[in-house]
Amino acid sequence: ALPGLVIDFLGLQSYGDETRSSGVVQITFDLGRPVEDRHVLVVEDIVDTGLTMAYLLENLATRRPRSVRLCSLLHKPARTERQVPIDYLGFTIDDLFVVGYGLDYKQRYRNLPWIGVLSS
């Protein structure tokens, strides 16, 4: 029998300058288990242009999961280039670069216990 709830991780990197995604997405490390026949819930920090999630959802679909749902803490609709359905959304935000609560800028500010706007 398949195991119940499993938490797994994958890494995605999208090339571009520091605060903009180029849409050229690479998997830097992959899931440890197949998702075939499984209900998959993707948990993401922020959907900005949508290019990263569009890539991931297409990639996951080739692995024949039973279903895929997307959950994101934040969404910046102003910058949408690829529409991705966010099934569970925390907050819609303006077109600002945010840090904290897990979100980094060059590996910094990830540990802040709140979300703040990076000002230059």
Give the span between the Cα atoms of 116 and 103, in whole angstroms. 10
> Is 8 assigned a catalytic role?
no
> Is 51 one of the binding residues for ligand 5GP (CB under 6 A)?
yes
Q: Which stretch binds ligand 5GP (CB under 6 A): 1-9, 31-39, 48-56, 60-68?
A: 48-56
Among 38, 40, 42, 48, binds ligand 5GP (CB under 6 A): 48
Burial of 91 (0-12, 13-18, 19+ CB in 10 A): exposed
- How far apart are CB 38 and ligand 5GP at their closest, in Å? 22
Taking the C-alpha atoms of residue 58 and residue 87, their distance in angstroms, rounded to an integer, is 16
Binding mask 82-101 for ligand 5GP (x = CB under 6 A): ---------------xxx--
For residue 55, the minimal CB distance to ligand 5GP (Å) is: 8
Closest CA to 56 of 76, 77, 86, 93: 86
Output the furthest CA–CA distance in the chain (Å, rounded).
53
Spatial distance between the Cα atoms of 29 and 88, rounded to a whole number of angstroms: 25
Question: Could you say which of 8, 17, 48, 104 is catalytic?
Answer: 48
Binding-site ranges for ligand 5GP (CB under 6 A): 14, 21, 44-53, 97-99, 103-105
